[in-house]
Chain A
Amino acid sequence: MDTVSTGDIEKLLRVNELYINFYTYEGVVKAIDGVSFDIHPNETFALVGETGCGKSVTARAILRLIPTPPGKIEGGEILFNGVDLLKIPEKEMLEYRGKKISMIFQEPMTSLNPVFTVGDQLVETIALNQKVSKEEAYNIALKMLERVRIPDAENAMTKYPHEFSGGQRQRIVIAMALSCNPSLLIADEPTTALDVTVQAQIINLMNELQKNMGTSILLITHDLGVVAEMSDRVAVMYAGNIVELGTTSVIFEKRYHPYTQGLFNAIPVFGKGKQTRLEEIPGSVPNLLYPPPGCRFHPRCPHVMDICRKEKPELIELEPGHYVRCHLYR
């Protein structure tokens, strides 16, 4: 099933039919159930969905950061510039992790070591990954801090992470992640821990750096507002499946999949005045130990048909570049 191909546009990353299970005491959690997507050079691609939909697991699988056991990649390919990252030996992964592909996380404090200065950590990363001398690494680090607009960068190099605010820490982490000029930056909920005014600053910064450095971004988020601000294309995930994939403008305008529709109607939109009642999606996200048969959304779907209970729908290309996994559109 070669579904999500984008024709002639060259691909930086291609995830193809990825299956990941977690083997726990309670049973097998079928976390990722055949996920496929491409990321083009110089674009921001968003994976959006609720807790437990598999967006973070997918992102971590790209860097082979799934703890094994309990996790296991059961099948599929992750092609980065044509190389299958799931097939190369662990040692070769070091050429990718942090160099060609880097990652930033939700809570910046977890990615910074509290007992070393920011300068030490930046210089170490740069010296290790780019094989340059300490002095050169220092200069690159300084430039990166200026680039992410840390005030008084030279002084900041001598400070410890706790001396910075949450927003500044996330800037430092971004500086670290981009210091090696990666082709792909995986950003896992990069603004979720931040206040809105600071979130707006970080979104701006990331958009600007993306434009200037030509890095592709894989953005993981649950916030449709952040998706609208940052991404070129979006994949909506539900319970381990991509249910809809397309350009941000088409998804926000048309919303074919009943889950996408439910998700959009469930969020209050600011500035709309006293709104009509929010629509609810009944029930809650299924336990992936026992995923529903057929379409995994069928127990909550308002348009459920007999076939939905039995057969998993395929991704169908409804418009060029726009895919939906739903029996309604067969």
Chain B
Amino acid sequence: MSDVTYTAEAGDEILRVENLKKYFPILGGFFKRPVAYVRAVDDVSLSIRKKETFGLVGESGCGKTTLGRTVGRLIEPDSGRIIFKGMDITHISQKEFRGIRRHIQFVFQDPFASLNPRMTIKDIVGEPLVIHTNQSDSEIEDTVLELLEVVGLKKEHLYRYPHEFSGGQRQRINIARALALRPDFIVLDEPTSALDVSVQAQILNLLKDLQSEFNLTYLFISHDLSVVEYMSDTIGVMYLGKLVEVGEAESVIAETLHPYTKALFESIPIPDPKFRGKGAAIHGDVPSPINPPSGCRFHPRCPHAMDICRTEEPALKGDSSHLVACHLY
């Protein structure tokens, strides 16, 4: 379908996703056979450059989380290719993938669910080191202490349990664990959505500092456009399993092309009463990804829908700094 990929200059690239698909079966009937599929990620291609933050935005159910997890093989893709540092990791065995996994780490949304309540902070942050390295216990303790300092926690936190920490502190623990193996690439899946705004600012700033300190590349997944704008160099917008627009952050925000992206941006409530009453940009809800609309998936809600939109799926087009999948262009 879409042969054009959002490409970075060669050599600069750390991760490349080509025509990735992930359909989740819905089982039904007596034999529990698949009766339908949720098309969570449907033919998505993108490329992420070293040391950049790639922001992936979209509303619930658009497939952004599935895409993030598939990249780290937490979910196995159905088809397409994932190329990490020039190596095709789509189909290598889990055993082989172990060596790669230390370079791809995750931070999840819920800082309460992602820490084992029965483990101390030392064991949580040190676990990746136990699995992937041959460090002795005292070496691991030194590394963990270093990591805690890097994320702004203290020495006395080492033998405490997760319940003794606030949400923001727990997210710092998650970040410390993700950093333990000195990865190149971190998938941040809504890392601040469960946090209060004053704490969110602390975590976002911490993530930015760590990125420049350790030369990290981020895939930053969020539904909060303001946060994505603050963090990202490149922005990709997803709608119902499709990447509809992708490009340099400034270009996507200042020269928005896709009608869905426009609607999304216009819907954000601006914290200034002078801009009140812009009105709702689009009507209706996101359709079910089980039977997505034919042609362009946005056409039933699109103010510019044409005949071609109902029948033909638009491909991603444009110059390499800004691509859009829309028949208007």
Contact = CB atoms under 8 A, between A and B. Distances in A.
Contacts of B202: 280-282
Interface in B184-222: 196-202, 204-205, 208
A288 to B, nearest CB: 13
A248 B273 contact: yes
Contacts of B168: 284
A228 B253 contact: no
Given A196-B264, A200-B269, A268 B59 contact: no
A263 B198 contact: yes
A203 B271 contact: no
B222 to A, nearest CB: 11
B9 interface: no
Interface in B261-290: 263-277, 279-283, 285-286
18 contacts: A195-B286, A196-B223, A197-B263, A197-B264, A197-B267, A200-B266, A200-B280, A201-B280, A223-B269, A225-B270, A227-B271, A267-B197, A268-B204, A268-B227, A269-B271, A273-B229, A278-B205, A280-B201
B164 to A, nearest CB: 12
Nearest to B229: A270
Nearest to A199: B267
B201 A281 contact: yes
B225 interface: yes
A269 B201 contact: no
Given A224-B271, A266-B200, A274-B250, A201 B223 contact: no
B60 interface: yes
A165 interface: yes
B166 interface: yes
B114 interface: no
Given A198-B285, A204-B279, A228-B273, A266 B229 contact: no
Contacts of A263: 197-198
Nearest to A275: B230
Contact of A267 (B201, B225, B263): B201
A264 B269 CA distance: 14
4 closest A-B pairs by CB: A225-B269, A268-B230, A195-B59, A200-B267
A221 B258 CA distance: 31
Nearest to B301: A197
Interface in A179-226: 195-201, 203-204, 207, 222-226
A222 B273 contact: no
B273 A196 contact: no
A279 B230 CA distance: 13
A277 interface: yes
A6 interface: no
A51 B196 contact: yes
A262 interface: yes
Interface residues of A, number: 49
Contacts of B200: 266-267
B291 interface: no
A129 interface: no
A227 B271 CA distance: 7
A166 interface: yes
Nearest to A225: B269
A168 interface: yes
Given A50-B198, A195-B60, A198-B285, A252 B272 contact: yes
A257 to B, nearest CB: 13
B273 A252 contact: yes
Contacts of B273: 228-229, 248-249, 252
Contacts of A196: 59, 223, 225, 264, 267-268
B226 interface: yes
Given A196-B225, A200-B280, A280-B205, 9 more contacts: A195-B223, A199-B269, A200-B281, A224-B271, A229-B273, A263-B198, A269-B271, A270-B229, A278-B205
Given A200-B280, A277-B205, A267 B269 contact: no
B interface residue count range (under 10 / 10 to 19 / 20 to 34 / 35 or more): 35 or more
Contacts of B167: 284
Interface of A: 50-51, 165-168, 195-201, 203-204, 207, 222-229, 248-249, 252, 262-275, 277-282, 284-285
A282 B201 CA distance: 10
A263 B226 CA distance: 15
Contacts of B254: 273
A265 B205 CA distance: 13
A302 to B, nearest CB: 13
Interface of B: 59-60, 166-169, 196-202, 204-205, 208, 223, 225-227, 229-230, 249-250, 253-254, 263-277, 279-283, 285-286
Contacts of B272: 228, 252
Nearest to B288: A165
Contacts of A284: 166-169, 196, 198-199
A203 B266 CA distance: 13
A284 B169 CA distance: 9
Contacts of B225: 196, 270
B139 to A, nearest CB: 32
A51 B249 CA distance: 31
B271 A225 contact: yes
Contacts of B205: 277-278, 280
A118 B253 CA distance: 40
Contacts of A285: 166, 196, 198
A268 B269 contact: no
Chain A CB within 10 A, most for which of B250, B265, B266, B285: B285
B281 A268 contact: no
Nearest to A285: B196
Contacts of A204: 279-280
Chain B CB within 10 A, most for which of A166, A262, A278: A278
A199 B250 CA distance: 25
Contacts of B267: 196-197, 199-200
A226 B226 contact: no
A203 B268 CA distance: 11
A287 to B, nearest CB: 9
B250 A270 contact: no
